[in-house]
């Protein structure tokens, strides 16, 4: 089966991890700070805090944003559940803004409408989590313009976006129009640390808050101690209720090696997306937008004249590991039980009912991609 996504590990990646195994520190050594510096250098963000998953990073971003009980957080329904779960972890209520049928990202027009009515009803969100679906940036400048007058915190779920650029050409993760951006380094993403994630920001106090909560809420910085504890070399102080969300040096070493290859991963994804655009143009399907700035995490098509389940099953039977991104978050039983209704998100419903994700990753060979293309042509005939 040709998978829909996969990582790429070379000898340099393996040696980088083995080197750490032969060194003194498996965790809390030099690799994590170096990885954070590499993330800042790559994206242009001032601060990066590396953690053990994208989900942890989203949770920490919500904590740093001060999200709590009684607050509202809005996100896109066309995403992995973690984009919404992070707000529920903090006791907040989640609401969804329907997608733009063309970009499959949160609709800016619907966001504008929803803000007007929420402002009138006193139900504005404290934060919104925007998702750069498939690696193609949301219109961050427009979202910032719409939300800044209300003081709404913008968190980018950039799990698909590392290596891509926003509409104005800033690297995704630079946080030009947001407060924080969250990355994931799961093996299917742009680059991997096996499991891993990061919060990027230009705001020092947000960065400090994220770092504090990633490590139990404990500080070893003596300036945070009471006067009588100053000078006690054994002392550390838990200031807040945090978690152990730290990334290990083994994982960070893999990240430090992978980030050197990130541009080549993105270039390969982009080239293969272009091959699909040309080879599939004659089929009665909708292709994704040709966004030259996209990180091309996913290549998703929409069937317009065929039954999705039939096509999905036939492609899987013939060895093409197609997938569906995403089951709308409000479809999950947990969310249904919270009272969400599919009727409120007609664009997301239409997209979900017709979409298929084709294999796309840097290690997908030309032969494999050609066989995906040939089989898809035959199945849709």
Give the residue carrying structure tokens 């042509």: 377
Rounded to the nearest whole angstrom, what is the least distance from the CB of residue 295 to ligand PLP in the complex? 12
How far apart CA 220 and CA 251 sit, in angstroms, is 23
Distances (CA, A) of 313 to 5, 150, 188, 317, 349: 18, 47, 22, 6, 20
Q: Choose the stretch contacting ligand PLP; rule: CB under 6 A; options: 35-43, 80-88, 201-209, 255-263.
A: 80-88
| 3-state secondary structure (DSSP) of residue 241 | coil
Report DSSP letters for 207-242, one per residue: HHHHHHHHBTTEE--GGGS-GGGTT-TT--EE-S--
Ordered alpha helix ranges (H), the chain: 11-21, 31-43, 54-64, 82-89, 108-121, 140-148, 204-214, 249-258, 262-280, 308-317, 333-336, 346-354, 366-379
59 contacts 86 by C-beta, under 8 angstroms: yes
Give the residue carrying structure tokens 């409120």: 344
**What is the separation of C-alpha 23 from the centre of its chain, rounded to a whole number of angstroms?**
32
Rounded to the nearest whole angstrom, what is the least distance from the CB of residue 331 to ligand PLP in the complex? 16
How far apart CA 358 and CA 369 sit, in angstroms, is 9
Tell me: does residue 85 bind ligand PLP (CB under 6 A): no
* Cβ atoms within 10 Å, residue 292: 11
Q: What are the structure tokens assigned to 169, written together?
A: 């050409």
Among 35, 47, 74, 80, binds ligand PLP (CB under 6 A): 80
Q: Choose the stretch contacting ligand PLP; rule: CB under 6 A; options: 74-82, 202-210, 301-309, 329-337.
A: 74-82
Rounded to the nearest whole angstrom, what is the least distance from the CB of residue 231 to ligand PLP in the complex? 40
Q: Choose the stretch contacting ligand PLP; rule: CB under 6 A; options: 75-83, 91-99, 173-181, 302-310.
A: 75-83
Among 38, 43, 75, 83, binds ligand PLP (CB under 6 A): 83
Rounded to the nearest whole angstrom, what is the least distance from the CB of residue 185 to ligand PLP in the complex? 7
Nearest-CB residue for ligand PLP: 54
Which of 82, 376 has the CB closer to ligand PLP?
82
Residue 201 pairs with which residues in a beta bridge?
47, 180
Which of 55, 202 has the CB closer to ligand PLP?
55
Tell me: does residue 106 bind ligand PLP (CB under 6 A): no
Q: Choose the stretch contacting ligand PLP; rule: CB under 6 A; options: 3-11, 50-58, 168-176, 314-322.
A: 50-58
Q: Which of residues 151-190 bind ligand PLP (CB under 6 A)?
A: 157, 159-160, 184, 186
Which of 79, 136 has the CB closer to ligand PLP?
79
Among 79, 136, 190, 300, binds ligand PLP (CB under 6 A): 79
Give the interface size with ligand PLP as a residue count (CB under 6 A).
14
315 contacts 376 by C-beta, under 8 angstroms: yes
* Cβ atoms within 10 Å, residue 95: 20
Tell me: does residue 248 bind ligand PLP (CB under 6 A): no
Interface map 125-144 toward ligand PLP (x if CB under 6 A): ------x-------------
Which of 197, 255 has the CB closer to ligand PLP?
197
Give the residue carrying structure tokens 């700035």: 293
Nearest alpha-carbon partner for 83 in 100, 110, 61, 52: 61
Rounded to the nearest whole angstrom, what is the least distance from the CB of residue 104 to ligand PLP in the complex? 12
Which of 184, 202 has the CB closer to ligand PLP?
184
Torsion 191-197-203-207 (CA) sign = negative
Phi, psi of 218 (to 5 degrees): -100, 135
Tell me: does residue 202 bind ligand PLP (CB under 6 A): no
DSSP state of 63: H
Among 31, 38, 43, 53, binds ligand PLP (CB under 6 A): 53
Q: Choose the stretch contacting ligand PLP; rule: CB under 6 A; options: 62-70, 78-86, 253-261, 328-336.
A: 78-86
* Residues found near ligand PLP in the complex (CB under 6 A): 53-55, 79-80, 82-83, 131, 157, 159-160, 184, 186, 197
């Amino acid at each position: 089966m040709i998978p829909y996504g996969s990582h790429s590990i070379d000898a340099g990646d393996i040696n980088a991890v083995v080197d750490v195994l032969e060194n003194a520190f498996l965790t809390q050594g030099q690799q994590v700070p170096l990885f954070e510096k590499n993330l800042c250098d790559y994206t242009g963000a001032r601060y990066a805090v590396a953690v053990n998953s994208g989900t942890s990073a989203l949770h920490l971003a919500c904590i740093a944003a001060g999200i709590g009980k009684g607050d509202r957080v809005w996100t896109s329904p066309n995403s992995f559940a973690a984009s919404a779960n992070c707000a529920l972890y903090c006791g907040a209520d989640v609401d969804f803004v329907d997608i733009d049928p063309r970009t499959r990202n949160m609709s800016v027009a619907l966001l504008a409408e929803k803000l007007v009515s929420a402002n009138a009803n006193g139900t504005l969100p404290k934060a919104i989590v925007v998702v750069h679906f498939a690696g193609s940036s949301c219109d961050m400048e427009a979202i910032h313009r719409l939300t800044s007058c209300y003081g709404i915190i913008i968190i980018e779920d950039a799990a698909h976006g590392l290596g891509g650029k926003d509409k104005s050409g800033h690297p995704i993760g630079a946080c030009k129009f947001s407060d924080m951006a969250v990355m994931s380094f799961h093996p299917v993403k742009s680059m991997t640390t096996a499991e891993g994630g990061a919060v990027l920001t230009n705001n020092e106090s947000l960065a400090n808050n994220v770092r504090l909560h990633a490590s139990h809420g404990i500080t070893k910085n003596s300036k945070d101690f009471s006067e009588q504890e100053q000078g006690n070399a054994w002392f550390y102080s838990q200031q807040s209720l945090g978690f152990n969300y730290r990334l290990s040096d083994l994982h960070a070493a893999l990240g430090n090696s992978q980030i050197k290859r990130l541009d080549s991963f993105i270039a390969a994804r982009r080239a293969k997306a272009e091959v699909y655009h040309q080879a599939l143009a004659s089929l009665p399907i909708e292709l994704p937008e040709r966004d030259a700035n996209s990180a091309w995490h996913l290549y998703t098509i929409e069937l317009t004249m065929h039954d999705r389940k039939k096509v999905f099953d036939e492609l899987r039977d013939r060895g093409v590991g197609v997938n569906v991104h995403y089951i709308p978050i409000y479809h999950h039983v947990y969310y249904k039980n919270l009272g969400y209704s599919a009727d409120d998100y007609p664009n997301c419903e239409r997209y979900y009912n017709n979409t298929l994700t084709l294999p796309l990753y840097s290690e997908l060979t030309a032969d494999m991609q050609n066989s995906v293309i040939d089989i898809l042509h035959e199945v849709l005939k």
